[in-house]
Amino acid sequence: MRLHSFIEKHLLKRTGISYLLYPLSLLYRVGHRIKQGRDLSRQYRAPYKVISIGNLTAGGSGKTPLGLELARLLSENGYRVAVSHRGYKGNLEKETVLLDSEMELSPKILGDEACLYASSLKDIPLVIGRDRVEAARLLQQKKPDTQVLILDDSFQNKKLHHDIDIVVVSAEMGLGNGFCLPAGYLREPLSSLKKGHYVVLLSKNGRTPGEALVSQLRSRTERIYFADLVPGELKAYNGEPTQKEELTGKKLLLVSGIGNPASFEETVCSLGLEWIKHLRYPDHYSFDDVSEINREASDYILCTQKDVIKLALHNELRGKLVYIELGLKWKNEGFVRDLLASIS
């Protein structure tokens, strides 16, 4: 059984298997609390504001689009902002490196999401490495005028003090079946949400969040904000615009290596496009081997902005590659206002 199928069948709803795994989830919670307690006891506080963007669940919820939007927003409002990214599955993950203009922007070196940050935020300092304390100290040393540091995917990491926590929740995936790993989809229980935390309830393809989910979140914090991830332009691998009409009526192959591939299909449907097949791969898949993709007869290969960086490394795919840009659209203006007030 593929991982995506297992998640959809047993982690998003309660089944016999999820109940069977429930004792292991209790052990997971105990181990997680012990680790967080140890980290809090020796927590490092940086000399600037630290904003963490994270989630409660194990899958993708839209953290990266929000992180990109937030970095641009703070920069446009006059803040000297930097970003810390783990660089998951990149060669620099176990190091701590401040990117410079001469460094190659490769997903193998930086990791796919960090590479997306680097290519999208060229004028904003980016530190790669899973040790967030070392990242903060390096930034303090090399960029002492920094005012705000954004941590991507760091809600569970308590070694570095967070001045503001932003928790992203997917309207589609919600909180899964309410159990923690491995019996459910949660990295930690809902009780981890505190009164001062910001929650961004992110919808894709115009979906309205369920009232039960909103009620669950409001029981923990009143700071709940709503936004939509909306499809933007279609682009070729090199960033050149591609018209939707070019794909209409053609053999379109979907390829994704993301946490929620079903939402990618919904996005493609919202554009009025049809496809012959969807090749689903695990989140952060390296795409070192593309033989399966090459075997499929297709006119175009449609993928996400995160995946195109890796797929474009294969010359034989480039002529077919098209990706969808995603933009963030706020349903209320309160988030920007309240966040800027919290920082100041």
Domains in the chain, CATH or no CATH each: 3-229+329-343 (3.40.50), 232-326 (3.40.50)
> pLDDT value at position 293?
97
Q: How many angstroms from the chain centroid is the CA of residue 322? A: 20
First to last CA, the chain: 50
H-state helical runs in the chain:
3-6, 16-41, 63-76, 107-110, 112-120, 132-142, 211-218, 244-247, 261-270, 291-295, 305-311, 315-318, 334-343
> pLDDT value at position 11?
83
* Two structure tokens written together for 76: 């446009």
> pLDDT value at position 207?
74
Q: How far is CA 75 from CA 199, 253, 295, in A?
A: 22, 38, 45
Longest dimension (CA), the chain: 60
> pLDDT value at position 2?
64
> pLDDT value at position 3?
63
Cβ 81 vs Cβ 74: under 8 Å? yes
Half-sphere exposure of 300 (CA within 13 A, CB side): 22
How many other β-carbons are positioned within 10 Å of the β-carbon of residue 296? 13
Closest CA to 309 of 82, 127, 83, 110: 110
266 in helix, strand or coil?
helix
User: 270: buried, middle or exposed (CB in 10 Å: 19+, 13-18, 0-12)?
Assistant: middle
Q: Rounded CA gap, 139 and 276, in Å?
A: 47
Please give the average pLDDT of every successive group of 10 residues along the chain, which has 344 residues. 68 91 95 93 96 89 90 95 94 94 86 92 94 97 97 94 96 91 93 94 82 94 93 93 94 92 89 95 92 95 94 95 92 88 90
Classify residue 210 as left (phi > 0), alpha (psi -120 to 50) or beta: beta
**How does 141-175 read in b/e, with b if 16+ C-beta sit within 10 Å?**
eeeeebebbbbbbbbbbbbbebebbbbbbbbbbbb
This prediction has a pTM of: 0.91
